[in-house]
Amino acid sequence: MPKPASAVKKAGQQRGVRGSRTGRPIMVLLDLLGRRWSLRILWELRGGPLTSRALRAACDEASPTVLQARLSELREADFIELLPAGGYGLTALGKELNETFLPLHRFAEGWSKR
Amino acid sequence: MPKPASAVKKAGQQRGVRGSRTGRPIMVLLDLLGRRWSLRILWELRGGPLTSRALRAACDEASPTVLQARLSELREADFIELLPAGGYGLTALGKELNETFLPLHRFAEGWSKR
DNA sequence: TCCCGTGCTACAATAAACGTAGCGCTATGC
DNA sequence: GCATAGCGCTACGTTTATTGTAGCACGGGA
């Protein structure tokens, strides 16, 4: 019989990294990037800044709720920033992170022919 | 007033890539890897095969339900395989994909000191 | 003034993830 | 034989995340 099962969890981690309690940087990063739309957002910004609405359009009209949540998280992680002129753009760190994923594109092309 | 809002969505995409309807390989890949625990599983297998239980332990005791779901998806994508001798291991393709993420580790280390 | 685009939020409904328990199977122990 | 233990995997009720739709407050032109 499934017990309440919560009431305990609130203590341990609340403001945290969700799926990772170790705190190891790579885990924190994998967890952050493992949230829905995170990778996609970074990817869509690779060509230059986009307004929040353009970004939403680029992301298949994902709901603004999650998008804003991700944008906040990614901003807090210093991967993207809200430009003074409007629109979101990659920070230097974000660009560096994005380059990490460049080989992924090539990989994806080959993988799709599996 | 929030309308029913569903009843429509069932038509368009059901068995799909969730966040991506374009079918572009990179989108499919980003979507698959953007699911919870996907990246983590690949990461945890980098050192060699693990049994499902060991993998679960490595992933902070994530619930077996999602883990099995991810394992199935990653297996279908041919990134991991269930070894005859038992345990899950990366396929050649999986190893290739994992190497794509190697720079991520280094990046994460530097990032954590932001 | 009015209009339009910006970033952002509310909120009810839906889908995904969680936690716990336990199944069927196989191999090894006695 | 027959427990025992580990394997991959599933059921199912609860909690959390995501979705879809609507709309806010603000600022910059016409």
Residues of B in contact with A95 (CB under 8 A): none
Q: What is the structure's pLDDT at A14? A: 28
Residue in B with minimal Cα distance to A34: B34
Range list of H helices, A1-114: 9-12, 25-33, 38-44, 52-58, 64-76, 92-100, 102-111
Residues of A in contact with B28 (CB under 8 A): 108, 112
Q: What is the structure's pLDDT at B23? A: 67
Question: What's the average model confidence in pLDDT over A103-114?
Answer: 88
CB pair distance less than 8 Å for A40 and B34: yes
Question: What's the average model confidence in pLDDT over B8-15?
Answer: 28
d(C-alpha A52, C-alpha A8), whole Å: 38
Average pLDDT, chain A: 81
List the single protein residue with the shortest CA to C1' distance from C7.
A52
d(C-alpha B107, C-alpha B114), whole Å: 11
Distance from CA of A87 to the nearest CA of B (A): 22
Q: What is the structure's pLDDT at B87? A: 96
Q: What is the structure's pLDDT at A27? A: 87
Distances (CA, A) of A59 to A5, A65, B29, B44, B82: 36, 13, 14, 29, 34
Among the ranges given (A70-84, B57-71, B94-108), the one the predictor scored with the smallest mean pLDDT: B94-108
Please tell me the pTM assigned to this model: 0.83
In the structure, how far is the CA atom of residue A50 from the C1' atom of nucleotide D29, in angstroms? 21
Q: What is the structure's pLDDT at A55? A: 96
Going by pLDDT thresholds of 50, 70 and 90, the confidence category of residue A11 is: very low
Q: What is the structure's pLDDT at B56? A: 96
Over 80: is that where the pLDDT of A22 sits? Answer: no
Q: What is the structure's pLDDT at B22? A: 61
pLDDT digits (tens, 9 = 90+) for A52-107: 999 999 999 999 999 999 999 999 999 999 999 999 999 999 999 999 888 888 89
Over 60: is that where the pLDDT of B109 sits? Answer: yes
Mapped onto helix, strand or coil, the DSSP state of residue A24 is coil
Residues of B in contact with A77 (CB under 8 A): 111, 114
H/E element holding B54?
A: helix B52-58
Strand C reaches within 7 A of the A37 CB: no
Over 80: is that where the pLDDT of B34 sits? Answer: yes
